[in-house]
Amino acid sequence: MLEVKSLSVSYGAVAALMNVSVHVAEGEFVSLIGSNGAGKTTLLNSIMNIIGHSKGTVTFKGKEITKLNTPKIVKGGMAIVPEGRRIFSNMTVKENLEMGGFTRPAHEVKEKLEQMYDMFPVLGERHDQTAGMLSGGEQQMLAIGRALMTSPKMLLMDEPSMGLAPLVIKEVYEKLKLLASTGLTILLVEQNATMALKYAQRGYVLENGRIILQGKASELLGDNEVKRAYLGKEYKEKWER
């Protein structure tokens, strides 16, 4: 469904991604893990053409989307839940969702709104509240809801666990699992390797802008290299907290 071929991105003289190739099949849940500054956000943002890239191609549903602008890519069926959620904090919850449905016809938006409220009851309860007042977890749900309003075939998730309590993180992942079971294709990037790999079928490991490992998620979870580099670090971080 998504095919990223030897993508390179640099910020000025700083190379952030070098020859990165990633593919995701239809209906797959794929996680890409990497530590701080590995280039995860850069990868997702350049797939969506939020930032430009210097080399490589991105193909989605058999069509090259490398040169399309972000709104066109969204219309084509790919949605992103950006890093830091980036909800419209001065608008209400309902308006945020409506904006997600910007490219969809009015009757579909209405239907989808109800679906979102069913899926995330808290959004229904708070539909008239200013989105900036929501808690971090609620904002993450809203960001996911907003992305789903675009009626995507594929969802890109940028660090859904960021800044959330473990219990809330689990809730978010359970929702993603549910979405995956309905046939939504998911590419998720995370520092939180344990969670990301536990829920995914396949995984990639990104380090300093290069893919250094890939394979079945369960195998990566057991991989010594991954354990040392990511899981170990996480345990240490948890310890420090």
Ligand X SMILES: Nc1ncnc2c1ncn2[C@@H]1O[C@H](COP(=O)(O)OP(=O)(O)OP(=O)(O)O)[C@@H](O)[C@H]1O
Q: Which residues contribute to the site for ligand X (CB under 6 A)?
A: 11, 14, 16, 34, 36-42, 83, 191
Which of 182, 77, 162 has the alpha carbon at shortest distance from 119? 182
Residue 171 within binding range of Mg ion, rule CB under 5 A: no
Residues 6+ apart with CB under 8 A from 183: 27
Measured CA to CA in angstroms, residue 75 lies from 38, 65, 104, 228 at distances of 29, 11, 9, 41
Residue 103 within binding range of other proteins, rule CB under 8 A: yes
Residue 74 within binding range of other proteins, rule CB under 8 A: yes
CA separation for the pair 161, 82 (Å, rounded): 12
For residue 1, the Cα-to-chain-centroid distance in whole angstroms is 16
Binding other proteins (rule: CB under 8 A), the pick from 47, 87, 141, 186 is 87
Nearer to ligand X, 128 or 240 (CB): 240
Strand partners, 187: 30, 156
Tally the residues of the chain: 241
Minimum distance of other proteins from residue 216's CB (angstroms): 30
Token pair belonging to 154: 């594929």
Binding other proteins (rule: CB under 8 A), the pick from 20, 41, 43, 82 is 82
Nearer to ligand X, 14 or 167 (CB): 14
Q: Which residues bind other proteins (CB under 8 A)?
A: 48, 50, 69-71, 74-75, 79-80, 82, 84, 86-91, 95, 98-100, 102-103, 146-147, 149-150
Contacts to Mg ion by CB under 5 A = 40-41, 83
